[in-house]
Structure 1
Amino acid sequence: MTIEMSWWGDDNRAALFAEVIDKFEAENPDITVKQTPVGAPDDLFNRLATDFGGGGQTAPDVFALGGAKPQEYGSAGALLDLGTVADIVQADKYPDFSTTAATVDGTLYGLPTGGNATAAFVNVDLFEAAGVPVPDASWSWDDLIEAANTIGKAGLTTASGAPVYGLDLRIQDIIGTYAAQQTETGIYDFDGKLAVDADDIAGLYEKEVELQKGGGLPDPSIITAGWALPPDQQLYTLGQAAVTFGYSNLIGTYGAAGETLILPPPTDGDTAGVALLPSAFWAINANTKHPEASAKLVDWFLNEPAAAELIKDTRGLPFNPDTLAVVTPLLDAPGQAAAEYVQGVLDSGVVAPPQPDGGANMNKYSQDAETEVLFGRQSPQEAAETWVKNLSSDLD
């Protein structure tokens, strides 16, 4: 029998997946896999829209989905209920919070390729140079503010003479985690509405004001210019900041700045608010003529040690703990640190609802509010109320 598999990515990924498929076919000689890689996610999504618009018979048997697509296609009945092949794909290996975005009304329609989690990155060298104790996983927001302000006022510079700041902050990288510290689910609830109120969001902007007044942040113009910078151009990577927030897979890039420690973000409560964010999901066409063969292929990519040894963390760190245990020893030192961090999140992370329709402007609204606060045009409370008003309107 022949089944078709499609994904997006560059030529290197296509070559890697071809090698994985070769091993699969060697173990399953009755199954031939037709490979149809595409360059960009939209290339695949456009094809799927056409195929499923015509009934789905021409769509691939197995394909990658990202963002809200598992919810969209699952709700439309286009995806196979993985409960029907649960034993083959080993769905029970995956923590509930790693599959939330692919679950509709209790039915699982996709399994994550892997993913990453929001983390704090600490430049140990800069902390030591400023005489500030290096934090650990128990740190609070007050600990961060005190440390960042002390380092920002220490007069440190890089080898080229550039100033060193306490915190390199991009509001969009931490606001969801901060919200989850307040609500345990994050910005949204499971009904697609806001789970936070203006007081919750104002708390984060109030902390930013403390950092601004205390010397822990760069000038607001530098902060706003840094929103869209790639990781290798950010202040932290250039050795100009002692702390930043980002995804765990960035530890290799951020490590260029010096000895880097990966920690949960600071918190004032019992939860760090961290959720694992899948890179993509493997899903199966509901119209496939070969559901068991398709399920075997998904299982091979996600759970087979021989495949894991090839794929490693190229699609995010595996969420199946058994697969993660295979991959971790094969990673370099920064990758192993990220894997250890992700394992901790697997054990204790929050369950974050998927981004609902209408949530696309959340980052923009967060940046707009930050601009108003940092340039002194609005108080944190005023900016947060505008944020809630705008996002609530979009969700409605």
Structure 2
Amino acid sequence: MRTLRALAVAAPAAALLLAACGGDDTTGGGNGDGDVVELRYAFWGSDERAQMTQDMIDKFEAENPGIRVTVDYADFGAYFDKLATSVAAGDAPDIMTMGGAYHTEYAGRGALLDLAEVDDVIRTDQISDDILAHGTIDGSLYAIPTGVNGYAMVANPTVFAQAGVELPDDTSWTWDDFAQMCTQIGTALGDAGYGAQDLTNHNTLALWARQHGEALYTEDGEVGVSTGTLAEWWEFSNQLRESGCTPPATLSEELASQSAPEQTLIGTNNGGMSLVWSNVLEALSTASGEELQLLIPPGVAGGEPGSWLGPSMYYTISARTEHPEEAARLVDFMLNEPAAAESFLTDRGLPVNTDVREAIMDDLTPVQQAEAEYLNRLEEAVGDPVPPAPVGSTETASIVTRLNSEVLFDRTTPQEAAEQMIAEVETAISK
């Protein structure tokens, strides 16, 4: 089995807290003296994700009757505050789901177990080094991706048809092409909708930067995008708003505060396109009742590939767990057992274990199969791997959201927003 020590780099996704504990006796678990081992498992998500997780836990406990796991969950917005409180109080869950750069930050605080300590339990031979590298900090593996997904332009073919606009060829379209068809859709729909929801967030800026030969963060953990590139994006975003492609500031601000699929323009069939992570296609399709389509995001004419394959989220183990081997058994089960993948399917991204991925393909819904097909296509169009997100970069998302609001309402210029963003992110990652 591949050693877990010599892997490199870290990358994007999100996180939230939940708890898990339980008990039973007999074989396949326990601490060797007949006592029940109780584990706490923390994650974020909807009631549907919680049901999937409990189904997986039931299977795990059936195979490990000496271990019981209790889960608790909350929505994404509350997770980090709750997790931070638990970790600070010395009461961290045994297994914690991480996202974005949070695994970097918690590892840096000594809160995460170096998984080399349990490399005889967690199997990694069917997970690529490129995937494992996302969870490696300073040469040690602290987090393993739950699955992979990709940034995508989701399109509603029904809205396109209503507007009399054809879907683009996503192997060659540019941002200029996007702007033209987005404006056509917005004009055709009138008061009934828009060509797209406002696109600005830190993931979009990372995509835009890479297409311009830059990066949101360098491999040295510094800001790698220029003021000019950021200002150019916000100028483009203003043009989209003014042309009727995207909503006015008041509606965009309202939509930015509503993360549920059924609250989005795509989910309500009031928008033609939106930039999303591929693993939310199922939820958006359910909300809209339409057969939505994933498109490779538009590019810059003559520019570089900007897309990347990234972890959906991460599994980590608390450095203070009293049961590292049992916690590792649960992580191994979630990563490597088809039974677990049958519970999750693509909810946590496409399985990172290639054998498991193949085993569940026939169980996927048509929408989930479309996600898998999209990732296969995207893999051929991605650029270089994304450098690690540095400690402190978890503040970037809120910085971008706040500054974007200032630009939307014309309270600051694109140039001013770009300068302020770089200054604030530099401050955040230098603390």
Shorter-chain TM band = 0.7 to 0.9
- Selected match of 1:356 from 369, 382, 390: 390
Question: Where does residue 244 of structure 1 map in the other structure?
Answer: 274
CA distance in 2, matches of 1:79, 1:166: 44
Contact persistence 2:304–2:383 (CA under 8 A): no
Write the distance in 2 (CA, Å) between the matches of 1:149 and 1:314: 33
1:326 aligns with 2:359: yes
Q: Cα distance, 1:101 vs. partner? A: 5.0
Q: Deviations over 1:164-190 (max 9, x none)?
A: 211112411522322333356x42223
User: Among residues 345, 368, 380, which one is paired with 1:335 in the alignment?
Assistant: 368
Q: How many angstroms does 1:39 deviate by?
A: 3.7
User: Match for residue 90 of structure 1?
Assistant: 123
Superposed displacement of residue 146, structure 1: 1.1
The yes-or-no answer on 1:201 pairing with 2:234 is: no
Supply the distance in 2 between the matched residues of 1:78 and 1:372 (Cα, whole angstroms). Answer: 36
Secondary structure of 2:305 counterpart: coil
Question: What is the aligned partner in structure 1 of residue 16 from structure 2?
Answer: none
Q: Which amino acid aligns with 1:266?
A: P
Residue type matched to 1:392 in 2? E
C-alpha change, 1:46 and 1:362, in structure 2 (3 Å) is closer
CA distance in 1, matches of 2:318, 2:411: 51
Q: TM-score, normalised by structure 1?
A: 0.81
Distance 1:228 1:283 in 2: 31
- In structure 2, the CA distance between the partners of 1:339 and 1:144, relative to structure 1 (3 Å rule), is same
Whether the 8 Å contact between 1:79 and 1:283 is mirrored in structure 2 is: yes
Pick from 57, 62, 66 the counterpart of residue 18 of structure 1.
57
Question: Could you say which residue in structure 2 is the equivalent of 1:28?
Answer: none
Hey, what does 1:267 align to over in structure 2?
Answer: 299
Aligned to 2:8: none
SS at match of 2:407: helix
Equivalent position to 1:212, from 234, 237, 241? 241
SS at match of 2:274: strand
Structure 1 residues 215, 12: closer, same or farther in 2, change over 3 A? closer
Structure 1 range deviating more: 245-254 or 37-46: 37-46
92-101 or 333-342: which moved more?
92-101
**Superposed CA RMSD:** 3.2
2:290 is the alignment partner of 1:258: yes
Contact 1:98/1:278, CA 8 A, preserved across alignment? no
Alpha-carbon distance between aligned partners in 2 of 1:296 and 1:14, rounded to the nearest angstrom = 15
2:424 to 387, 390, 395: 390
Q: What residue in structure 1 maps to residue 315 of structure 2? A: 281
Which deviates more, 192-201 or 263-272?
263-272
State the match for 2:138 in structure 1. Answer: 105
> 2:182, 2:196 within 8 Å by CA — same for their partners in 1?
yes
Task: Tell me if the contact between 2:282 and 2:368 (Cα under 8 Å) persists in the aligned partners.
Answer: yes
Distance verdict in 2 for CA 1:306–1:365, change over 3 Å: closer
CA distance in 2, matches of 1:248, 1:233: 18
One-letter amino acid of the structure 2 residue matched with residue 148 of structure 1: C
Q: Is the partner of 1:7 in helix, strand or coil?
A: strand
Deviation at 1:201, TM superposition (A): 1.0
Task: Name the structure 1 match of 2:262.
Answer: 232
Consecutive unaligned residues in structure 2, runs of 5 or more: 1-29, 32-36
Mapped to 1, the partners of 2:394 and 2:102 lie a distance apart of 14
In the alignment, is the contact (CA less than 8 A) between 1:324 and 1:339 conserved in 2?
Answer: no
Query: Out of 393, 398, 415, which is 1:381 matched to?
Result: 415
Q: Report the AA paired with residue 310 of structure 1.
A: S
The 3-state SS of whatever aligns with 1:35 is: strand
Report what 2:71 is aligned to.
Answer: 37
User: Which whole-Å deviations, capped at 9, do the CAs of 1:263-284 have from their partners, x for residues lacking one?
Assistant: 1211123313334233231437
Query: Normalising by structure 2, what TM-score?
Result: 0.76
What does the per-residue CA deviation read over 1:325-380, in whole Å, with 9 as the maximum and x for residues that have no partner? 22332122212212222344566465334543333442333234334434444442
Q: 2:350 is matched with which residue: 305, 314, 317?
A: 317
